[in-house]
């Protein structure tokens, strides 16, 4: 069982109480099972004392969980979601203090999740009302993409059954990194009767389109060898491992039954399998450690693109062979996040955009270059980020192009394992850039980049500096 870092105390919060209730125990029963006193058990549930290594081991044996169950990642994310919901001006309520919101998420997570869910339903209802009043078509409530992101986040972006099957497939087909397309094509033909056809140029922007009636798999003619192999492996997952995909998606509490989220989750899992086939876990993890997570070297070694390597690096959380726990995202110039996965406790704002001081946005000013940043969150946690732009499309002078920035980040304590941290004063507080989750819920009041007042505050004009300065509501300062 993985141990928590030596410098970090682990508290049970409400999680131990939930475990006990799920197993039909009272505190006396639990104390007896763990071999501790009833008073000690009560103190653990109330977070008055931290969990010791010996108690963690006993909890793992009795309840079948590991130390990650008590990670603060989910709690921090719930706190951010609750703060964003309570800070929504449309709700017309005064947001409580940040400490009180954090306590609510820690001690009463079920209540906090219910409030977040109520806020989402409120926003869905408000959107539907606005559309109906303008004579438009009623939208489908909820965002299936958010459900799928929650699903992957709940699994720390790691699915061991898929990694295991992918390694078996790579071994059976004797796949060689960078030369996987031909064996996968043969597998699809021999096992499933699928014939791969190169689609006509200009007819479709789809990278992959499968016609089950004819057994034809159409692939875009513009795909590189690595992209072609990825699409072949994705189709193989959908055909060969459909029961496993259905099982993983169908049993997820984060996905609404009979909703578009289930189909999206299956595609996401199939893509996960494809990446794991082209970059088998053990080999990829070993190579990543050897090259100190040099993304460009890994891209050349495994014949896949920069973004694909970043995504795969964010999945290396196998017990006993863990990689650096990364967060990964892809964003456009307007700040729209189209991909976000996290194996860390870094959480992305759902409402009101993200922080413009984040290096992922600076990457657009330096196309093709890898930028680094030590970023400090308002709660004092620091992360190490790398970011670079990527370009999609553009096959021909008149062809449209799409430009994104991708970012990969980890807690600062892991940064020394990365080649990109060489020469950076990681321990110097002056090297850190203060960022936040987004202006709507960021409590930094001295940020020159702030676009809107923080929750519970106002913006006032400083005539000397010609800038907007946030004031707490109670100061009664001038308001713009």
The CATH number covering residue 56 comes to 1.10.260.40
Instruction: Say if 315 falls within a structural domain.
Output: no
The model's confidence at residue 475, banded by pLDDT at 50, 70 and 90, is very low
Helices and strands: H and E segment counts in the chain: 17, 13
Q: Is residue 168 part of a domain?
A: yes
Q: How confident is the model at residue 468 (pLDDT cuts 50, 70, 90)?
A: very low
Determine how many CB atoms are found less than 10 A away from the CB of residue 35.
10
| Residue 322, domain member (yes or no) | no
Report how far residue 214's alpha carbon sits from residue 194's, in angstroms, rounded to the nearest whole number.
Answer: 8
**Residue 295 domain flag:** yes
Distances (CA, A) of 438 to 80, 93, 406, 443: 10, 19, 18, 9
Whether 150 is in a domain gets the answer: no
Choose the final residue of a domain: 111, 142, 173. Answer: 142
> Is there a single domain that holds both residue 171 and residue 305?
yes
> At 339, which CATH number?
3.30.450
Instruction: Please check whether residues 218 and 91 belong to one and the same domain.
Output: no
66 and 78 belong to one structural domain: no
Q: List, in order, residues 6 or more apart from 134 with CB less than 8 Å away.
A: none
Spatial separation of the C-alpha atoms in residues 211 and 235, rounded to whole Å? 11
Same domain assignment for residues 177 and 290: yes
SS3 190: helix
pLDDT digits (tens, 9 = 90+) for 227-255: 999 999 999 999 999 999 999 998 877 67
Mean pLDDT of the chain, nearest integer? 83
Domain termination residue (choose one: 112, 142, 172): 142
**How high is the pLDDT of residue 477?**
39
User: How many domains is the chain built from?
Assistant: 5
Task: Give Cα separations from 277 to 191, 346, 363 (angstroms).
Answer: 17, 27, 30
Same domain, 201 and 295: yes
226 and 276 housed in the same domain:
yes
pLDDT of residue 341: 83
376: left (phi over 0), alpha (psi -120 to 50) or beta: beta
Residue whose pair of structure tokens reads 């008149």 in the numeric block: 398
Under 8 Å between Cβ of 403 and 321: no
Q: Residue 471's pLDDT is what?
A: 42
Q: Are 384 and 374 in contact (CB under 8 A)?
A: yes
User: Which tokens in the block code for residue 348?
Assistant: 């992305």
Residues 465 and 365 grouped into a single domain: no
Note the residue count of the chain. Answer: 480
Same domain, 386 and 455: no
Which of the four pLDDT bands, split at 50, 70 and 90, describes residue 287?
Answer: very high
Q: Is residue 419 part of a domain?
A: yes
Judge if 105 and 135 occupy the same domain. Answer: yes
Distance CA 190, CA 53 (A): 52
CA angle centred on 319, ends 237 and 16, rounded to 5°: 110
**Listed residues 70, 86, 109: the one ending a domain:** 70
How many Cβ atoms sit within 10 Å of the Cβ of residue 319? 11
Q: Average pLDDT, stretch 383-393?
A: 93
Q: What pLDDT does residue 352 have? A: 52
The answer to the question of residue 444 being in a domain is no
- Decide: 167 and 282 in contact? Cβ < 8 Å: yes
Residue 239 counted as domain residue: yes
Domain housing 109: 73-142
Under a CB-based contact definition with an 8 Å cutoff, are residues 240 and 191 in contact? Answer: yes
- pLDDT tens across 33-67, in order? 899 999 988 888 887 888 888 888 888 888 877 65
Q: What percent of the chain has pLDDT over 90?
A: 42
Six-digit token pair at 169? 């497939």
Cα 301 from Cα 313, distance rounded (Å)? 14
Q: What is the pLDDT of residue 66?
A: 65
Say what the pLDDT of residue 102 is.
79
Find the radius of gyration of the CA atoms of the chain.
24
Interior angle at CA 72, CA 67 and CA 74, nearest 5: 105
Whether residues 60 and 77 share a domain: the answer is no
pLDDT reported for residue 44: 86
Residues 361 and 250 in one domain: no
Task: Report pLDDT digits (tens) over 393-412.
Answer: 877 778 888 899 999 999 99
Question: What does the pLDDT look like over 319-345, one tens digit per residue?
Answer: 889 999 999 999 999 888 888 887 666
Q: In this predicted model, what pLDDT tens digit does every residue of 410-466 receive, in sequence order?
A: 999 999 999 999 999 998 988 899 988 777 777 777 788 877 766 555 444 454 544
- CB neighbour class for 479 (10 Å; exposed up to 12, middle 13-18, buried from 19): exposed
Same domain? 39 vs 107: no
């Amino acid at each position: 069982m993985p141990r928590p870092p030596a410098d970090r105390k682990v508290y049970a919060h409400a999680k131990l109480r939930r475990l006990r209730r799920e197993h039909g125990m009272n505190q006396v029963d639990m104390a007896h099972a763990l071999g501790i006193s009833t008073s000690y058990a009560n103190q653990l549930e109330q977070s008055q004392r931290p969990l010791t290594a010996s108690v963690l081991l006993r909890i793992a044996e009795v309840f079948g969980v590991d130390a990650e169950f008590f990670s603060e990642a989910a709690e921090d994310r719930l706190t951010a979601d609750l703060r964003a919901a309570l800070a929504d001006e449309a709700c017309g309520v005064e947001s409580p203090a940040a400490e009180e919101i954090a306590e609510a998420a820690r001690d009463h997570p079920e209540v906090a999740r219910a409030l977040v869910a109520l806020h989402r339903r409120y926003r869905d209802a408000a959107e539907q009302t606005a559309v109906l009043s303008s004579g438009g078509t009623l939208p489908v409530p909820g965002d299936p993409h958010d459900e799928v992101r929650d699903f992957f986040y709940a699994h720390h972006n790691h699915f061991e059954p898929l990694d295991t099957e992918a390694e078996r497939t790579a071994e059976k087909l004797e796949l060689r990194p960078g030369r996987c397309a031909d064996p996968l094509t043969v597998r699809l033909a021999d096992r499933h009767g699928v014939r791969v056809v190169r689609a006509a140029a200009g007819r479709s922007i789809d990278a992959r389109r499968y016609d089950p009636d004819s057994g034809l798999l159409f692939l875009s003619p513009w795909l590189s060898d690595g992209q072609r192999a990825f699409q072949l492996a994705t189709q193989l997952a959908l055909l060969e491992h459909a029961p496993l995909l259905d099982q993983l998606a169908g049993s997820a509490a984060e996905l609404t039954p009979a909703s578009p989220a289930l189909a999206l989750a299956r595609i996401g899992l199939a893509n996960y399998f494809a990446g794991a086939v082209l970059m088998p876990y053990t080999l990829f993890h070993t190579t990543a450690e050897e090259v100190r997570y040099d993304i460009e070297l890994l891209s050349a070694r495994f014949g896949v693109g920069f973004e694909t390597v970043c995504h795969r690096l964010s999945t290396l959380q196998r017990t006993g062979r863990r990689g650096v726990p990364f967060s990964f995202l892809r964003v456009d110039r307007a700040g729209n996040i189209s991909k976000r996965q996290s194996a860390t406790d870094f959480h992305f704002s759902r409402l009101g955009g993200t922080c413009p001081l984040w290096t992922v946005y600076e990457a657009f000013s330096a196309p093709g270059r890898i930028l680094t940043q030590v970023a400090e969150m308002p709660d004092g946690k620091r992360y190490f980020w790398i970011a670079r732009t990527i370009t999609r499309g553009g096959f021909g002078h008149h062809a449209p192009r799409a430009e994104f920035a991708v970012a990969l980040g980890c807690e600062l304590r892991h940064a020394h394992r990365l080649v990109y941290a060489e020469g950076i004063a990681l321990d110097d507080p002056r090297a850190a850039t203060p960022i936040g989750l987004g202006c709507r819920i960021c409590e930094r009041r001295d940020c020159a980049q702030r676009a809107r007042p923080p929750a519970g505050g106002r913006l006032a004009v400083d005539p000397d500096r010609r800038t907007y300065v946030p004031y707490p509501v109670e100061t009664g300062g001038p308001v713009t």
